Each structure stands twice: as C-alpha cells, then as structure tokens.
Amino acid sequence: MELYSLGISELSRMLEKGEVSAGDITASVYKRIDAVEDKIKAYVTLTLADALKMAEEADRDITAGNKKILSGIPMAIKDNMCTRGILTTCSSKILKNFVPPYESTVTSKLIESGYVLSGKTNLDEFAMGSSTENSGFHTTRNPWDIKRIPGGSSGGSAAAVAADECIAALGSDTGGSIRQPAALCGVVGLKPTYGRVSRYGLVAFASSLDQIGPITKNVMDSAILMNIISGRDPMDSTSAPIDLPDFASVIGMDIKGMKIGIPEEYFLEGMDPEVEKAVKDAIKTFDSLGAMPVKVSLPHTGYAVAAYYVLATSEASSNLARYDGVKYGFRAEGRDLMDMYMRSRAQGFGAEVKRRIMLGTYTLSSGYYDAYYKKAQQVRTLIKNDFDNAFRNVDLILTPTSPTPAFKMGEKTDDPLQMYLADIFTISVNLAGVPGISIPCGFTSENLPVGLQLIGKHFDEETILKASYAYEQSTEWHKRKPNL
C-alpha cells in the first residue's frame, strides 16, 4: 500500500518504529500530487520546498528521540488561514499577491506538532459558496467523478484528502463548509463548537459563525487533530476558556444506551431517495450497536437558511470593507480616490462575493436593520433553543449532511437560491454554535458518497467522536477510495 493512502495514526506508528521516514511520506504525497492534481485541482499553492525542509526537520527530531504528534505528516491548509511567508489568497483576485507577515494560531500549533505543509487548498472565494465554483482561480473537481463539484467552501481540502493528495487537511465552516464537502467527497469533516478553536489568522467571512476544523480519512485522525488545534487563545476574544479533554481517549468506547435524536424536519420532501435510504440504514446500524433512536423536533429549522443569509452577509459586508485597494491586496488604477476604491472592489471581487456584500449592506442599512438583521438574530435564538430543548432528552442528533450527492459542475451556478439550499442541513449547527461531524455512510448507484451528520451539545465533541468511531468501525464506507 502506498504511504499517501494511509492516515495520521498509521503513519505515526510506522515513523515511531523506524519503518519509514518523514522524507519518504512527503515524497509519496508529492508523487500522488504529480499524478492526479491536474485532474482534481485541489490546490492553489503547492509548497514543495517548504515541505522538504519541514520533513528533514521532522526526521532530525525523530532520530534525536523527540518525535512529536504530527512529525512528518503532510497536511493541506485551506487558503483562508494565514501562513507566514506563504501566499494566502482566499481564492480571490483581490488577495492574489498577499503574503501574511504572521502565522494563524492553528497553523502555529501544527508547526509546534511537527507537521509538513503540503500546500494551500482552493475554496469558494472568501469561503462564500457550496461548490468551489466561486473560486477566483479554478474549480476543484470531485475525485469520485471529475465532472462533479466537491462541495464547498472547503472543497479543495476535502478533495485533497479524498484523492490522497495529503494525509489530512484543515477547513473552515461558516454554514457547512467543512461538513458538506466532506460528505460529497466521502471523508470525515468536523466542525467544532464555536469558540473551541481559535480563529486568529483565519480571514473572516462571518465572525460569529466561522470555525476551523479537521478534514481527515477517518474519525481517529479527527480526534488527534482536535487535540492539537483546540484551546483558549488570548489572540481571539471569542475562544472559550474551557478545559480541554483528550478527544482521542473516547475512541473505541461503547455507545450502548446512547440516545440519538432523529429530527423529522431533516427528512424533507425532495431529498434524494438514495441519500435518505443510506441515512436510514445508518440509523439501523446505530440501533444494532445498542444506541437508541428517539424522535425529536427542531421546529424552526425551516427558517434557518433565510436567517443565515441575512446574518452571514451582514457580517461579510462589514468584514470585507477592509479590502479597499489601499492597505494591501489588489489595487486598480482610478481617476481619483473614490474611483480607485470602486474599481479595485469591482475588479477584485467575484460575482458571489459582490452579491453577498450587497445583500449584507442592504440588511444593515437604515430602515431595514430591524426588519432583517434584528429579526434574523431573534430566529437564531429560537434555533439555538430548539437544540437546547432536544438535547434535554438525547445525547446527540443524527441527520443527513447534504440533501443530495455531489451535483454536476455548472448545474446550479445560475440559480443562487438552489445553491444556498445545498447547506440546508448544516446551517442550523453554525447558528446554534454546536459541534457537528460528517462521516461517510454509503454510496449512490452512481458511486457517489453520502454523508451522515452527527450533532452534539456545546463543547461535547467527545460524544460525536465516540459515536462516529463506533459507526465507522462497524461499516466499510471509509475504506473505499476513488479510482483516479
């Protein structure tokens, strides 16, 4: 078996025993990138020179008996997280030449843990999208069918993991941007509780919703990465001062007697029948493992998409005001200052980003604030209360991750509303701030992956990891690989 096809825990064991070197693993991953990247287009920046240096350093540490948790493990980073001295573009022309002078907290923690940076991955521009078709550079393709989208906005990270172009990756999730592409690419994607992982150095889209999390080949690897990237950070006032558990310690625990909520609102008319069947089969599997399915209701789910697109666009309108052509990034020539501002933003931003900035500016404007923004915040509270009420009776909630498998490229680009509805099952989790994971739970007749979402209580990632691992070990879905 090729080294690039293995996960973090397997490679770490091999490194510890001296069976392979960090240099071997990095060479294997880059050999894979050379073979398939032209088809997949998962990356916007490859960092071979940096990767080789980091692998050499990891090998020196291992030889000296100082092996770290991620020593020699090549990982990809979504290109909206700052990497010092390395391009960070958010897949936008307005930042195509931006090289940050500082490192994000999560990538600093990965460096301290000995990781190897394989490169920066493609995304929907400024993380605004569900298909990676809104990238200012190119569309990433789904490794299971290169005529289809990989999901978004962390489509590059999910595709890179699924295609074995890295061992694991980080993504960010504002309304489903880790979980939805993980589902469509057949890998594991975890959105932690809001505040569990520092956002310092993550280029902001919607600050009250954004959260960084792992995309991996299996559940154990997600637990390992959560142990590294989580924790209070004085550089991020929204990171929570909460004691960290050992997320990996719950892996392998029995789930007998666990109560799993099944919300009727998540099994909609119009959902793909093969997705519905795969998810219902997964419920039976949990039943056979001793967990108890319990009907629950999340009555305000139907308002989630509308509330999200008011709140997220409002925050985006405010956050993206800093890209004015003056401080950094792309600058257009203009007749005067105002003309330069307008031209820089018109030429630097893509159509979807402009749409969201305009929507957000409108909802925050005088006379409309109470009608839209304030009302959306009230709906958000109702959605959070729905989860609080449901969690009084159950340990976690089970839903589909996406209502459909991966759709064909170009299928929804002319209909933004249809595209927005692709995140209908993931958005509520961000609005409520609770953690959620997507794990593979089947394939359609066209050999496209289906994802299962498990949602937990605030700061209870252990329960969703424990349940996810139990399900994963009783099925074979996570072992299937796309034929590239």
Cβ burial of 260 (10 Å; 0-12, 13-18, 19+) is: buried
Cβ burial of 478 (10 Å; 0-12, 13-18, 19+) is: buried
Lookup: tokens for 99:
């090289």
What is the distance between the terminal CA atoms of the chain, rounded to a whole angstrom? 15
Lookup: tokens for 476:
């074979």
Q: Tell me if residue 78 is catalytic.
A: yes
Q: Tell me if residue 177 is catalytic.
A: yes
Rounded distance between C-alpha atoms, residue 179 and residue 151, angstroms: 9
Q: CA dist 423 to 173, 208, 435, Å?
A: 11, 17, 16
Query: Which of the residues 131, 177, 230, 428 is marked catalytic?
Result: 177
Rounded distance between C-alpha atoms, residue 133 and residue 391, angstroms: 36
Rounded distance between C-alpha atoms, residue 479 and residue 336, angstroms: 59
Query: Which of the residues 12, 41, 67, 78 is marked catalytic?
Result: 78
The beta-carbon contacts of 317-321 under 8 Å, at least 24 apart in sequence, are 317/356, 317/357, 317/358, 317/359, 317/360, 317/361, 317/364, 318/360, 318/364, 319/204, 319/205, 319/206, 319/207, 320/126, 320/349, 320/353, 320/357
Rounded distance between C-alpha atoms, residue 195 and residue 197, angstroms: 6
Any idea what the Cα angle at residue 478 is, between residues 472 and 482, rounded to 5°? Answer: 170
Q: Which amino acid, one-letter code, is at 437?
A: I
Rounded distance between C-alpha atoms, residue 439 and residue 471, angstroms: 9
Is residue 116 a contact partner of residue 82, using CB atoms and an 8 Å limit? no
Query: Which of the residues 130, 153, 230, 239 is marked catalytic?
Result: 153
Rounded distance between C-alpha atoms, residue 200 and residue 103, angstroms: 9
Which residues have a catalytic role annotated? 78, 153, 177
